[in-house]
Amino acid sequence: MTSPLWTASEIAAATSGHANTDFTATGVTFDSREVGAGDLFLALTGEETDGHRFIDGAFANGATGAVVSRDVTHPAVRVADTMAALEDLGRAARGRVDATIIGVTGSVGKTGTKEALAAALDRTMPGRVHWSVKSYNNHTGVPLSLARMPRDTRFGVFEMGMNHAGELAKLTRMVRPHIAIVTAIAPAHTAFFSGEEAIADAKGEIFQGLEPGGTAIVTFDSPHRDRLLAAARPHAGRIVTFGSGEGADVRAIEAMRVASGGTFVTARVRNRELSFTVAHPGAHWVSNALAVLAAVDAAGGDLGRAGLALADMGGLPGRGLRFAVPVAGGEALVIDESYNANPSSMRATLAVLALEGHRRIAVLGGMRELGDDSAAYHAALADPIDEAGISHAILVGAEMLPLARALEGRVDFVHVPDAATARDRLNDVLAPGDAVLIKGSNGIGLSAVVAALRTPIAAGAGD
């Protein structure tokens, strides 16, 4: 019989709390809408809400216990501070496993790399890999992901993000990785940083939590490579670089696009050559794959099986998922990149769109948290759009005004205020054979455009 994830006594011991009765939990959540049978519900309190309001609903949905900071009538562990208790549970879960732990960060590519790495390691140890779901990479998502880690885990893969200096240092000391990866440095959250060098320094904080003798994995091709190496040296027992440049420890010797849209790669990993296919298209995914191979090698995983996993990887909703939608007379391809955007990822996905379809349409939402340089970053997308051969662009949100001005006379486009209007405009122009890229910062709400394309309304487009 599988042992429970948590018992009431274990929760009380980890959080210095008091259990009002015995119970066991098979899962952990702080969102009452996600509660399933057997879950532990953490009643987090914040400026806008109080999880204690949803305790009855959580138990109605199947919760078997709760972590609370006031007396309740349901089975619970009472603590002084429920957020601190979540962190305590995360630390306790990390402390009880005999697993190789891998932390992943970067301005771009961290979620895809985390997912690919988990899939690759699962080929080595099926069913014994635990990883962050979705993009649970912040001050609540990381401890929650840790608290959900089964005690028999052999590989744990955790994504870590940040908006400000110092945030990653706290998260990585909680995760205590044996292997830490920085995928890439790019303009993101620049409203909170003085420049890319400061972003590189903040990403380099991930190495501060490395376990003794741990491995730091750093992008070789970045202009900030030396800065990242300097951040890693005081904490890492070993440093591995990945990239296409001569001298990278894990290096792409050859990369060639294949008919399926992916890339066939021959890579050198230390003294071994490996050929494999990356299912996802684009040079950025070749880079992600090299980071995965470096981590699998450092973790003692099977490189050959990792290559098979990379070939089988499907797209993630909001992060490269591809699907066909019916339009009058045929189908159109949709590339869903609606979850997030920064200047680097915009350029990378526009380059991917350039390889698709006889007519290319880009639905692009504003990029947020770019600070004083926001207008310049948006306007600078005009050249990549032109180079990608975009037939029609739908620009969404006030942030896109500088780009609209830069595109005048170059590319057919419309500038609309919101996602709802973008959806209507796209339905008006979509035709058989089109390839559509949908990408923008999450706050723009372009996921609604993606959802609308999956409803019958798309079938009437092009009439």
Query: Which span out of 215-229, 270-284, 345-359 was modeled with the highest average pLDDT?
Result: 215-229
To the nearest whole percent, how much of the chain has pLDDT over 90?
75
**Beta-bridge partner residues of 34:** none
User: Which two three-digit tokens encode residue 343?
Assistant: 């200047």
The mean per-residue pLDDT over the stretch 143-151 comes to: 97
Greatest CA separation found in the chain? 71
Mean pLDDT of 65-70: 97
Chain centroid to Cα 376, Å, comes to 26
pLDDT at 2: 64
Mean pLDDT of the chain: 91
pLDDT (mean) for 2-17 = 94
For residue 54, give the nearest of 41, 70, 71, 39 by alpha carbon.
Answer: 41
For the chain, domains (ranges, CATH) are 6-80 (3.40.1390.10), 97-312 (3.40.1190.10), 321-460 (3.90.190.20)
Tokens of 2: 């599988």
**Pairing status of strand 18-19 against strand 76-78:** antiparallel
Confidence of residue 191 (pLDDT cuts 50, 70, 90): low
Of 73-87, 163-177, 222-236, 346-360, minimum mean pLDDT range: 346-360
The answer to whether the beta carbons of residues 250 and 242 sit under 8 Å apart is yes
Q: Give me the residues paired with residue 105 across strands.
A: 182
Q: What is the pLDDT of residues 151-171, one digit of tens each?
A: 999 999 999 988 788 899 999
Q: What is the pTM of this model?
A: 0.79
Residue 1 has pLDDT above 90, yes or no: no
Predicted pLDDT at 225:
95
Q: Which helix H or strand E contains 228, and what residues bound it?
A: helix 225-232
Sorted by sequence, the CB contacts under 8 Å of residue 453 that are 6+ apart come out as 325, 334, 426, 436
Cα distances from 46 to residues 101, 123, 140, 392, 442, in angstroms, run: 30, 40, 12, 43, 22
375-404 burial, b if ≥16 CB within 10 A, otherwise e?
eebbbbbbebbeebebbbbbbbbebbebbb
Taking residue 257's Cβ as centre, other Cβ atoms within 10 Å add up to: 13
Structure tokens at 136: 């649970």
- pLDDT for 461 equals 38
pLDDT digits (tens, 9 = 90+) for 166-177: 899 999 999 999
Distance between start and end Cα atoms, the chain? 58
Give the model's confidence band at 280: pLDDT under 50 very low, under 70 low, under 90 confident, else very high: confident
Top pLDDT among 364 and 137 is at 364
The tens digit of pLDDT for each residue in 113-125 reads 999 999 999 999 9
Give 396-451 as a DSSP string: ESGGGHHHHHHHTTTS-EEEESSHHHHHHHHHHH--TTEEEEEE--GGG-THHHHH
Separation of alpha carbons 49 and 170, rounded Å: 24
pLDDT computed for residue 281 by the predictor: 85
Question: pLDDT digits over 396-455, tens only?
Answer: 999 999 999 999 999 999 999 999 999 999 999 999 999 999 999 988 999 999 999 987
Amino acid at 152: D
Q: For residues 301-319, give the mean pLDDT.
A: 88
User: Is the distance from CB of 62 to CB of 38 less than 8 angstroms?
Assistant: yes
pLDDT for 458 equals 37
DSSP β-ladder status, 250-257 and 413-416: unpaired
| Helix, strand or coil, per DSSP, at residue 223 | coil
